[in-house]
Amino acid sequence: MAQRHLTRPLWRFSYKSYPFQPLYITPLHCLRSYCLPQHSASRKISSLPQVPSTPRTFPESGVDKIDSFEKIEEERIPNYNPERFYPACLGEVLNDRYQIVGKLGYGATSTVWFCRDLLEPRYVVLKIYILSSRAGREITVYKHLDSIGSDHAGKRCLRMLLDSFEVSGPHGSHICLVHKPLGLSLQEFRSLVPEGVFNMQLLQPTLRQIFAALDYLHTDESIFLKYEEAEFEEPVPRKITNDRTIYTSRPLPITFGVPVLCDLGEARFGNEDNNEDIMPDVYRAPEVILNMNWGYKVDIWNTAMVAWDLSEHNRIFSARNPDGKLDDAYHLAEMIAVLGPPPLEFLRRSEKSLKFWDENGNWRGLAPIPENRSLEELEQRLEERPTAEELILDPWLMEGLYNQQPKTS
């Protein structure tokens, strides 16, 4: 059977023994941690109310109201259109099952809510997408992963889908995805560690988790009860308009757990032709910048970018010109400084490359090449990049996993 791979903007997962496609994901915010190890959640679950639960009524008086002229939360997103967002409310029950107890965050394509499951003794995270979103693609990816029936160890490093449904809003139907609650993203976690960068003892196990999850693709309940009670004790400030209430976000408390890969909305199947610009600015691989057909190894490039970001204060590539604007020429010039000039046969795969190099592979000089930079581990040619499976067994990443020899007297 032909191997399928899923691909998505930051990392992809593939495993030779199972028929699925590579996946990509976006940078640091797409790696989060489970709030606590799963065994902790299983011990606590028996103390929760038995199902079905009764919806709770949240306070509407005594809350801080924000001036209607002040833009908050998703209103600050460029080109914000309120009609595209579902007007969710605290206390609302969706799909006759999930009661909203708090707002966790927002983005350009969705808002994210903390919910109590009225049919099972658990808390979940509900992502409500805007109108005309591509969430259907993400559901397809999750269904594909569920259909594999794999016992691959990397599966536990991936955030899976618990449920999905649609909810009718004032202007159309919104897709909703249900997941387990997660903790900090790596980006948030990095801001808490000394000097804002990971040391090797922290970076190595993190990368092992990433590559295990990539290789597969390619909770403590008492904490959650306290989160819900906080809305009764100290309701979040909110802005009330004619057609909706916009709540300020309340993050989950900081907890311990292992990192998992999440947000698969831009995943791609490997048997598709892919040449679109799917990666965020400085994380783009050279084949993406040059509009070449790309595959699952763009995830390996992105993982290298994330590893650098976790362990260094400054990004390896800025991709910006002197005016501070994103510029492909300056991005490519930085890559040349680090990796050297790309092979001519690589450039010939892209018509766009002629904008930056001549027919003989000589740099046209649209941007100066920085000096005194080198990083041999990166590889422009995608076929030369190692796979996630190969990187899991990299000797450097395996350090600390070997059993120490017992001391002899």
pLDDT tens digits along 291-329 = 998 887 888 888 888 888 888 888 889 999 999 999 999
pLDDT band at residue 48 under the 50/70/90 scheme: very low
CATH number at residue 136: 3.30.200.20
Higher-pLDDT residue of 264 and 172 is 172
Residue 64 lies in a domain: yes
Higher-pLDDT residue of 353 and 37 is 353
Whether the pLDDT of residue 51 is over 60: the answer is no
> What whole-number distance in Å separates Cα of residue 162 and Cα of residue 370?
48
Q: Is residue 143 part of an annotated ligand binding site? A: no
Q: Mean pLDDT across the stretch 269-289?
A: 78
Residue 49 lies in a domain: yes
Residue 188 lies in a domain: yes
pLDDT of residue 372: 63
State whether the Cα torsion 315-320-321-324 is positive or negative: negative
Whether the pLDDT of residue 119 is over 70: the answer is yes
> What whole-number distance in Å separates Cα of residue 163 and Cα of residue 178?
5
What value does the mean pLDDT of the chain take?
77
Whether pTM exceeds 0.85: no
Q: Mean pLDDT across the stretch 61-81?
A: 92
Number of domains in the chain: 1
Residue 9 lies in a domain: no
Residue 73 lies in a domain: yes
pLDDT of residue 215: 72
> What whole-number distance in Å separates Cα of residue 303 and Cα of residue 307?
6
pLDDT band at residue 205 under the 50/70/90 scheme: confident
pLDDT of residue 381: 65
The SS3 call for residue 163 is: strand
Whether the pLDDT of residue 355 is over 70: the answer is yes
Q: Is 327 a catalytic residue?
A: no
> What whole-number distance in Å separates Cα of residue 384 and Cα of residue 43?
47
pLDDT of residue 49: 44
Interacting residues of 139 by C-beta distance below 8 A, sequence separation 6+ = 161, 164, 175, 177
pLDDT of residue 181: 87
pLDDT of residue 5: 44
Interacting residues of 393 by C-beta distance below 8 A, sequence separation 6+ = none
DSSP string, 337-395: HHH-SPPHHHHTT-SGGGGTB-TTS-B--SSPPPSS---TT--SSGGGSPPHHHHHT-H
**Alpha helix locations (H) across 101-190?**
135-148, 186-190
Residue 207 lies in a domain: no
Query: Would you give the distance in Å from CA 136 to the centre of its chain?
Result: 17
Whether the pLDDT of residue 360 is over 90: the answer is yes
30-39, 95-104, 250-259, 273-282 — which is least confidently predicted? 30-39
Residue 352 lies in a domain: no
Per mean pLDDT, which of 112-126, 186-200, 250-264 is the most reliable? 112-126
pLDDT of residue 55: 92
Interacting residues of 98 by C-beta distance below 8 A, sequence separation 6+ = 115, 116, 117, 118, 124, 126, 178
208-240: per-residue pLDDT in tens? 777 777 776 664 445 556 777 788 888 889 899
What Å distances lie between residue 251 and 15, 29, 116, 125, CA to CA? 34, 14, 16, 12
Whether the pLDDT of residue 45 is over 80: the answer is no
Range of the domain at 103: 32-195+217-259
Q: Mean pLDDT across the stretch 26-54?
A: 45
Eight-state DSSP code of residue 255:
-
The catalytic position among 67, 117, 146, 220 is 220
Percentage of residues in the chain having pLDDT higher than 90: 34
Tokens standing for residue 377: 């581990």
182-191, 260-269, 375-384 — which is least confidently predicted? 375-384
> What whole-number distance in Å separates Cα of residue 125 and Cα of residue 179?
5
